Amino acid sequence: MPSGVPRPSGPFVPAGTVRIFDTTLRDGEQAPGAGMTAAEKLEVARQLARLRVDVIEAGFPAASAGDFEAVRRIAQETKGGIAVAALARCRDGDPQRAIEAIKVAERPHLHVFIATSDIHLKHKLRMDREGALAEAVKWVRYGRKALGRDAEIEFSAEDASRTDVDFLMQVYEAVVEAGASTINIPDTVGYAIPSEFAVLVERAVKLVGDQATVSIHCHNDLGLATANTLAAVQAGARQVEVTINGLGERAGNASLEEVVMAIRTRPTQFPDLASHVQTEHITAASRLVSYLTGFAVQPNKAIVGGNAFAHESGIHQDGVIKNPLTYEIMTPQSIGLTGSQLTIGKLSGRRGLQGKLRELGHDVEGEALDAIYRQAIALADAKKEVTDADLLALVEQRVAEVPQSVRLEGWNVTSSHGGKATGMVSLAVADTERAEAAIGNGPVDALFAAVDAAVQPVFGWHPVLESYEIKAVSGGEDAQGRVLVRCRRSSDVGPGALVVSGHGLSTNIIEASVEAYLVAVNKLHGAEIGPASPAFVAQRTTEELP
Q: Could you tell me if residue 392 is inside a domain?
A: no
The per-residue pLDDT for 311 is 44
pTM (two decimals): 0.81
Q: Could you tell me if residue 7 is inside a domain?
A: no
The per-residue pLDDT for 73 is 95
Amino acid (one-letter) located at 22: D
Across 243-273, b (16+ Cβ under 10 Å) vs e yields bbbbbbbeebbbbbbbbbbbbbeeeeebeeb
| CATH of residue 463 | 3.30.160.270
Spatial strand order of the sheet with 406-414 comes to 406-414, 421-429, 432-440
Domain match, 427 and 287 both: no
- Give pLDDT tens digits for 412-432: 999 988 788 999 999 999 888
* Cβ-Cβ contacts under 8 Å for 110 (sequence gap 6 or more): 85, 86, 88, 95, 98, 99, 102, 143, 147, 151, 152, 153, 154
Nearest to 227 by CA among 257, 182, 259: 259
Vertex 66 angle, CA 63 and 71, to 5°: 80
Helices (H), 386-468: 388-399, 443-459
Judge if the upstream peptide bond of residue 324 is cis by omega within 30 degrees of 0.
no
Alpha carbons 313 and 307: distance in angstroms, whole number: 13
- Whether residue 219 is predicted with pLDDT greater than 70 in this model: the reply is yes
Amino acid (one-letter) located at 378: A
Q: Could you tell me if residue 338 is inside a domain?
A: no
Domain match, 428 and 284 both: no
Count other Cβ atoms within 10 Å, centred on residue 191: 18
Provide the residue range defining the domain that includes 479: 406-529
| CATH of residue 138 | 3.20.20.70
**Cα–Cα distances in Å, from 36 out to 66, 200, 291, 293, 463?**
10, 35, 11, 7, 18
Domain match, 214 and 76 both: yes
Q: Could you tell me if residue 322 is inside a domain?
A: no
- Give pLDDT tens digits for 244-299: 999 998 999 999 999 999 999 999 999 999 999 999 999 889 989 988 888 888 88
Better-predicted residue by pLDDT, 536 or 423: 423
- Give pLDDT tens digits for 312-364: 445 444 554 555 655 556 677 777 776 544 455 555 677 777 777 777 777 78
Domain match, 412 and 286 both: no
* Mean pLDDT computed over 227-241: 98
Helices (H), 152-281: 165-178, 194-208, 225-234, 256-265
- Final residue belonging to a domain, choices 260, 293, 326: 293
Domain match, 289 and 410 both: no
> What is the SS3 assignment for 55?
strand
Domain match, 88 and 233 both: yes
Task: Answer whether 66's CB lies under 8 Å from 536's CB.
Answer: yes
Alpha carbons 443 and 526: distance in angstroms, whole number: 27
The per-residue pLDDT for 312 is 43
Alpha carbons 28 and 291: distance in angstroms, whole number: 14
- Give pLDDT tens digits for 480-498: 888 999 999 998 877 767 8
Domain match, 135 and 261 both: yes
The total number of structural domains that make up the chain: 2
- Give pLDDT tens digits for 502-531: 988 888 999 999 999 999 999 898 876 544
Q: Could you tell me if residue 332 is inside a domain?
A: no
Vertex 530 angle, CA 55 and 398, to 5°: 60
DSSP state of 429: E
Alpha carbons 171 and 155: distance in angstroms, whole number: 10
Q: Could you tell me if residue 47 is inside a domain?
A: yes
- Final residue belonging to a domain, choices 251, 268, 293: 293
> What is the SS3 assignment for 83?
strand
- Whether residue 305 is predicted with pLDDT greater than 80 in this model: the reply is yes
- Give pLDDT tens digits for 160-184: 999 999 999 999 999 999 999 999 9
> What is the SS3 assignment for 440?
strand
Alpha carbons 341 and 344: distance in angstroms, whole number: 10
Alpha carbons 523 and 525: distance in angstroms, whole number: 5
- Whether residue 191 is predicted with pLDDT greater than 60 in this model: the reply is yes
Provide the residue count of the chain. 546
Lowest mean pLDDT among 130-134, 298-302, 530-534: 530-534
Q: Could you tell me if residue 11 is inside a domain?
A: no
- Whether residue 85 is predicted with pLDDT greater than 70 in this model: the reply is yes
- Give pLDDT tens digits for 94-108: 999 999 999 999 999
Domain match, 280 and 137 both: yes
Q: Could you tell me if residue 319 is inside a domain?
A: no
Distance in Å from the first CA to the final CA of the chain: 27
